[in-house]
A and B are shown apart, each in its own frame.
Chain A
Amino acid sequence: MKAHTLSVLVENRAGVLSRVAGMFSRRGFNIESLAVGTCEVPDMSRMTIVAIGDDAEVEQIKKQLNKLVDVIKVTDITDVENVGRELALIKVNTEPGGSRAEVMQIADIFRAQIIDVAAKSLVLEVTGDSGKINALENLLRQYGITELVRTGKIAVVRGGKGLKSSK
């Protein structure tokens, strides 16, 4: 069992997300995260899907994705040099004069931005790979996290070449 990162070009059309998500649930595949948005081609979207399974399972996932008419290209970038990032927004309890300074220090170390300050809380914005975000989350837990949102991973292959949009 291994996490695979799939970069999937799809038609930018109503219903595509539900077709993709439906295929995963229907066939009992495990999905760790799915992030989707517009991309460099105007009428396409790019999904970054992190799926977990053994080799045979991931092979099936790729084939079943390719079978969907709205899916234009599936690329498994797991074993290709790539940069993957996730964004998280974390709301943390802080006491003025007490834990607030500590949290700000931690944020600094993780190069997280403080994007909202209230009397008894801070909102941190952090990007990085999943490991970094997990580490920050663990550190902040002692202060009390009231809300946490993560985007799921997005990734691009390193170097000058793009992922071509033909099947």
Chain B
Amino acid sequence: MKTGAKILIEGLQHEGVEVIFGYPGGAILPVYDELYNSRMKHILVRHEQAAAHAADGYARASGRVGVCLSTSGPGACNLVTGIATAYMDSIPVVAITGQVPTALLGNDAFQESDITGITAPITKYNYLVKDVADLGRVVREAFYISGTGRPGPVLIDLPKDIQNAGLADETPLPEHVALRGYQPTYRGHARQIDTALRMMAEAERPVIYAGGGIILSGASQELVELAERMGIPVTTTLMGLGCIPCDHPLNLGMLGMHGTCYANYAVTDCDLLIAVGVRFDDRVTGRIEAFAPGAQIVHIDIDPAEIGKNKPIDVPIVGDAKTVLQAMIQRMKPPGARGKWQDQIRVWKEKYPLQYREDGALRPQYIIRELSDLLKGEAVIVSEVGQNQMWTAQYFCFKKPRTWITSGGLGTMGYGFPAAMGAHFAQPEVPVFVIAGDGSFQMNIQELGTVAQYNIPVKVVILNNMYLGMVRQWQEIFYDRRYSYTELPSVEFVKIAAAYGIDGVRVETCDEVLPAMKLALDTDGPFVMDFRIEREENVYPMVPAGAAINEMMQGYMK
């Protein structure tokens, strides 16, 4: 006889799960009792939202499925923001929730919530298991659905009586999962690929627009090889940073609302846009009619529903980015000369570099640049959301995929710190830095307890301007500097860290920046840096909402 709880734990082990982020409670007790015997690592977070974010961070840094665990009702509901974050960025996470016993389902029982109903719009799929005989198969399917095709979160809701129910008949699990309603397309259509390649060879001003799909599919190497052999410049979305080394001559940096001028100009002027693993998000495209207005568009994506969703596409290619790019490299034809286009891009790069005022004041861009120079790309950088995120995206030099972790689609403040805990378990040998604002950090600051308990060496960089900075920036520009509820009082983060037994420093001048970072690196365990930055520093360039992406507002220019 095997209980449901045991079937679940064995199922997780069978899927190769190394670490679970979770928080126990009444309706998940049988699973926790079984977990007590298991060799899998369990990290006790301080709030279930952090468990979901940590599982997501683990998934992004490792490329594997992350797992989080909670009880029913409030525990399950607290996972929701984390699940939605993973869903919007297509991150493979399996969330397991306890549920009231089946006899009480629908009864408004204590700590009951309809979590499969609540998460239907924010999961790739979810299960409410009502028969213990289904559980083994459900666990297999959940991991399969979560990690294949366009990845995404899957939730398994497990009533307490199913966790306790015994199953005598031990039918072995199927080796392969077969679902007649779920069959992702991996190989692109050969004729479509040839059409795209012909256009790429003939185009005079082509640009590749690469996104998170490249990272998810592990296609960075293929992307760079194709770009080099075809001589096509590459701009990346926020989610795609790291898929081409930032210092690569063909790299244009990020495009969109806070993208580089040269990326936005290149996309606006191009005659062929090759979009790979992207979804034409409004933060990227600005006014959609004015996005790449004169270009023919090739769109490669594993999700057919993304193709043509926001913008008509000339050559759609449904398939996995890596598989399609490999096929393209094999079948490509040499391109014509593109000297004029390369010259034009060089002129834009020289004329409109990313820049900020270097006057000795402690500015966030300087801090990110120092960190970038110190780490040389050999670190995992996790951001919160807001100005801290955009400055990091602009000024940190990412050299490899899966070294940049950020909540792009949902834009979840409070994501970064717990996601960094997850990232550490994925890449334990590599330093993990969180770039936070004082606002974001305080949304999941309780996780200082978790990093202290397990000595998780997450280094926290707080860009502390005592504002909800990005909102304040919009109020400054669009609301006549009426700072309605965006000012935060000063917080002594070093003292808070100390209360948890964590070391930290407060930094107020530029010459203290590097020593603080070196101290953080030399410290065995977590570390908090409270950088008191220029309070009203803004993120530039900036495309106002509703404008075309070449209509950028410039900040400071030399």
- Asked if A69 CB lies within 8 Å of chain B CBs, one says yes
Q: Chain B's nearest CB lies how many Å from the CB of A8?
A: 11
Contact assessment for A167 and B304 in the assembled complex, using a CB-CB cutoff below 8 Å: no
Contact assessment for B305 and A64 in the assembled complex, using a CB-CB cutoff below 8 Å: yes
Contact assessment for B180 and A72 in the assembled complex, using a CB-CB cutoff below 8 Å: yes
- Asked if B181 CB lies within 8 Å of chain A CBs, one says yes
- Asked if A161 CB lies within 8 Å of chain B CBs, one says no
Cα(A66)–Cα(B149), bound, Å? 13
The residue that B181 contacts in the complex, of A60, A64, A69, with Cβ under 8 A, is A69
Contact assessment for A60 and B309 in the assembled complex, using a CB-CB cutoff below 8 Å: yes
Contact assessment for B120 and A63 in the assembled complex, using a CB-CB cutoff below 8 Å: no
The residue that A69 contacts in the complex, of B145, B303, B308, with Cβ under 8 A, is B145
Q: For residues 71 through 126 of chain A, which have their beta carbon under 8 Å from a beta carbon of chain B?
A: 71-72
- Asked if A19 CB lies within 8 Å of chain B CBs, one says yes
Contact assessment for A56 and B124 in the assembled complex, using a CB-CB cutoff below 8 Å: no
Size band of the B side of the interface?
A: 10 to 19
Contact assessment for B181 and A167 in the assembled complex, using a CB-CB cutoff below 8 Å: yes
- Asked if A15 CB lies within 8 Å of chain B CBs, one says yes
- Asked if A138 CB lies within 8 Å of chain B CBs, one says no
Cα(A11)–Cα(B125), bound, Å? 14
- Asked if B103 CB lies within 8 Å of chain A CBs, one says no
B179 nearest in chain A by CB position: A69
Contact assessment for B120 and A18 in the assembled complex, using a CB-CB cutoff below 8 Å: yes
The residue that B124 contacts in the complex, of A60, A64, A69, A165, with Cβ under 8 A, is A69
Cα(A10)–Cα(B179), bound, Å? 12
The residue that A166 contacts in the complex, of B120, B124, B180, with Cβ under 8 A, is B180
The residue that B180 contacts in the complex, of A18, A26, A56, A167, with Cβ under 8 A, is A167
- Asked if B183 CB lies within 8 Å of chain A CBs, one says yes
Cα(A70)–Cα(B181), bound, Å? 6
Residues of chain A with a CB closer than 8 A to B305's CB: 60, 63-64, 66-67
| Known A63-B304, A66-B305, A167-B183; contact A18-B145, beta-carbon cutoff 8 A | no
Contact assessment for B179 and A26 in the assembled complex, using a CB-CB cutoff below 8 Å: no
Q: Chain B's nearest CB lies how many Å from the CB of A16?
A: 10
A-B contact count (CB 8 A): 40
Contact assessment for B120 and A69 in the assembled complex, using a CB-CB cutoff below 8 Å: no
Contact assessment for A67 and B179 in the assembled complex, using a CB-CB cutoff below 8 Å: no
Cα(A56)–Cα(B311), bound, Å? 10
Q: For residues 105 through 136 of chain B, which have their beta carbon under 8 Å from a beta carbon of chain A?
A: 116-117, 120-121, 124-125, 128
A16 nearest in chain B by CB position: B181
Cα(A60)–Cα(B121), bound, Å? 16
Cα(A72)–Cα(B183), bound, Å? 10
For B181, B182, B303, B304, the residue with the greatest tally of chain A CB atoms inside 10 Å of its CB is B181
Q: For residues 28 through 64 of chain A, which have their beta carbon under 8 Å from a beta carbon of chain B?
A: 56, 59-60, 63-64
Q: For residues 304 through 318 of chain B, which have their beta carbon under 8 Å from a beta carbon of chain A?
A: 304-305, 308-309, 312
Q: Chain B's nearest CB lies how many Å from the CB of A137?
A: 35
Residues of chain A with a CB closer than 8 A to B303's CB: 67
Residues of chain A with a CB closer than 8 A to B124's CB: 69
Cα(A10)–Cα(B181), bound, Å? 8
Q: Chain B's nearest CB lies how many Å from the CB of A43?
A: 10
Residues of chain B with a CB closer than 8 A to A11's CB: 181
Residues of chain B with a CB closer than 8 A to A70's CB: 181
Q: Chain B's nearest CB lies how many Å from the CB of A140?
A: 40
Residues of chain A with a CB closer than 8 A to B120's CB: 15, 18-19, 22
| Known A70-B181, A71-B181; contact A26-B121, beta-carbon cutoff 8 A | yes
B312 nearest in chain A by CB position: A56
Residues of chain B with a CB closer than 8 A to A10's CB: 181
Contact assessment for A22 and B121 in the assembled complex, using a CB-CB cutoff below 8 Å: yes
Contact assessment for B125 and A18 in the assembled complex, using a CB-CB cutoff below 8 Å: no
Cα(A64)–Cα(B308), bound, Å? 12
Contact assessment for A66 and B304 in the assembled complex, using a CB-CB cutoff below 8 Å: yes
Q: Chain A's nearest CB lies how many Å from the CB of B181?
A: 5
Q: Chain B's nearest CB lies how many Å from the CB of A10?
A: 8
Q: For residues 503 through 552 of chain B, which have their beta carbon under 8 Å from a beta carbon of chain A?
A: none
**What 19 new A-B contacts, CB under 8 Å, besides A66-B304, A69-B125?**
A18-B117, A18-B120, A22-B120, A22-B121, A56-B312, A59-B308, A60-B305, A63-B305, A66-B305, A67-B303, A67-B305, A69-B124, A69-B179, A69-B182, A70-B181, A71-B181, A72-B181, A167-B180, A167-B181
Q: 14 interchain pairs (CB within 8 A)? A: A10-B181, A15-B120, A18-B120, A26-B121, A59-B308, A60-B305, A63-B304, A66-B305, A69-B124, A69-B145, A69-B179, A69-B181, A71-B181, A167-B181
In the complex, the 5 A-B pairs of residues with the closest C-beta atoms, listed nearest first: A63-B305, A69-B125, A72-B181, A69-B182, A69-B181
